[in-house]
Amino acid sequence: MKKTMLIFGMLFAGYIGYALVDMTDRLVSLRTVLNAGIFIAVVVCFVGLWKSKRWALWFSWGLALAALVWGCYLIHFVWTFWLFASPTLSERIANVLHPRVSVFVIFPVAWLIYFTRSKVRALFA
């Protein structure tokens, strides 16, 4: 089961990589270097998790918390940022539940719930 969750994590990380590249200019900037650093950190984390390293488990919790914070920011953004319209409550809820936003909250929470269980933590030396 641990390997299945890791594969889902890799797919989520691929989506994060796509989203970060999609939001970045094509010119080299600090944001581009930061995105490359995040990508390298995620790859290193998944290699460590695949080999059941304890440091990678802690590192994955940190990355999941960072993704959760980003998801909370996105939810706040789509809930409050309206320039020329006054949306109804159902429109706001629909924007929060959109998969491009909700995946950044749902997956990190599922990751943290799964990998903080004592039975799963015992698999890491």
The label of the residue with tokens 């924007």 reads 95
Per cent of the chain over pLDDT 90 is 13
| pTM assigned to the model | 0.79
Tokens matching residue 68: 């959760």
pLDDT tens-digit map of 59-112: 989 989 998 998 999 899 888 877 777 888 898 888 888 888 888 899 999 999
Lowest mean pLDDT among 6-10, 51-55, 102-106: 6-10
Domain spans of the chain, in order of start: 2-121
Q: HSE on the CB side for 101, CA within 13 Å? A: 15
